[in-house]
Amino acid sequence: MELNRTVPHALRQNISKLNVDRTTRIDIALFNGFALPGIAAIIEVFQKANALVSPRPIGRSRYDVSLWSAAGGRIASSSSVFVWTESVESYRDTNDVHMLFVAGGTGAQQACRDERLRDWLRRRHPSSEIVHSIQEGQQLLEAAGFTSRDQPLFEAGHEWRDVYPRRPFGEPPGAVDTALRIVKQDLGAELAQLVSESVVPDHKTPFASPITGRAVPQISEKIMESARWLEANVDQPISIDDAAQVAAMSERNFLRRFKSEMGITPSDYLLRARLNMSCRLLVESRLPVDKIARRCGIGSGGQLAKLFRKYLSTTPTDYRMGREASRTSS
């Protein structure tokens, strides 16, 4: 309700003129060990959009988000947060517009072996306007028979091609970007901007990804893929050999290529990614410091405090308080 009060009157009038009575089904394929942050952000985008549009008839939303897994029921994310899902075998098609997101995460490889999920993706893919795989989710699409690696975003209808210009493999649209583009196409740029500002806080940490701002041609596809894999698995115990296998290289060659192309070693890149997530969680959540440390693969609040003192000359608690104070005064 609070979000509705932030909508300018002129924008509300524009929204009322749009076809907001149409329901778009957002289907999200999950599996045990899926990466939660990206999925949570997608859901929030569509929930915020629902809150901003005009009141709908009871039981109808502009965006109807459903979580699906092979067997249904409770499944665990890679950070041990449980969510409730529907079984793919209970899926019933409708005449509504459908969009499909496929989660990434460490459990993707195991999920690829489940024929129920593969068969469901084969049936959902052709009838979905947009199909977006998140990182390791591409493995599931490939297991289902969709092998194009250069288009993580598939367009089934010609009307989407102007909205989603083709990009090189090294610069695919993110899942949140895709969700916001869907909202923009349906409800206009102004409302999409309001959703974006609400969902994606303008908080830049001292440990932004080295990929940001780099010219894509300087980084090869394999190294880019390994870097994204490292960022997606910060909460897991990771070895350099694991990352080298993602890049399909020997460990020695991987270390040399990664440092040459990224300007930083894989170990330092992983540490920066973990500290980056720690900074964001300190500002964007009320989780205790010790729990944030564990979720970011750092082990304990004490170890996180040591790293903060070393790299930021402060403590996690003081960092959180300082950011809160600056947001309050701005």
Task: Give the pLDDT confidence score for residue 86 in this predicted structure.
Answer: 95
Task: Give the pLDDT confidence score for residue 206 in this predicted structure.
Answer: 80
Same domain, 66 and 161: yes
Same domain, 191 and 293: no
Number of domains in the chain: 2
Same domain, 35 and 154: yes
Same domain, 162 and 249: no
Does 17 have pLDDT greater than 80? no
Cβ-Cβ contacts under 8 Å for 253 (sequence gap 6 or more)? 244
Decide if 317 is inside a domain: yes
Does 187 have pLDDT greater than 60? yes
Decide if 211 is inside a domain: no
Decide if 221 is inside a domain: yes
Same domain, 132 and 188: yes
Same domain, 101 and 248: no
pLDDT, mean of residues 247-273: 92
Same domain, 224 and 190: no
Check which CATH number belongs to the domain holding 164 and give it. 3.40.50.880
CA-CA distances (angstroms) from residue 133 to 146, 174, 218?
11, 9, 24
Of the chain, the percentage scoring pLDDT greater than 70 comes to 76
Same domain, 169 and 314: no
Same domain, 22 and 117: yes
What predicted TM-score, i.e. pTM, was given to this entire model? 0.58
Most confident of 63-72, 153-162, 198-207: 63-72
pLDDT band at 56 (very low <50, low <70, confident <90, very high): low
pLDDT, mean of residues 255-259: 93
Placement of tokens 């909205």 in the chain: 163
Same domain, 221 and 276: yes
Does 259 have pLDDT greater than 60? yes
Same domain, 139 and 175: yes
Confirm if 45 and 183 have CB atoms less than 8 A apart.
Answer: yes
Q: Cα–Cα distance between 255 and 249 in angstroms, integer?
A: 9
pLDDT, mean of residues 148-160: 40
Would you state the torsion angle of the CA atoms of residues 213, 190, 203, 226, taken in this order, to the nearest 10 degrees?
A: -40
Decide if 208 is inside a domain: no
Q: Which amino acid is at 31?
A: F
Same domain, 193 and 295: no
For the ranges 25-39, 47-61, 221-235, 296-310, the lowest mean pLDDT is seen at: 47-61
User: 139, 166, 199 — which closes off a domain?
Assistant: 199
Residue 36 structural domain: 3-199
pLDDT, mean of residues 128-152: 78
Give the length of the chain. 330
Mean pLDDT of the chain: 79
Does 255 have pLDDT greater than 90? yes
Q: Cα–Cα distance between 203 and 65 in angstroms, integer?
A: 27
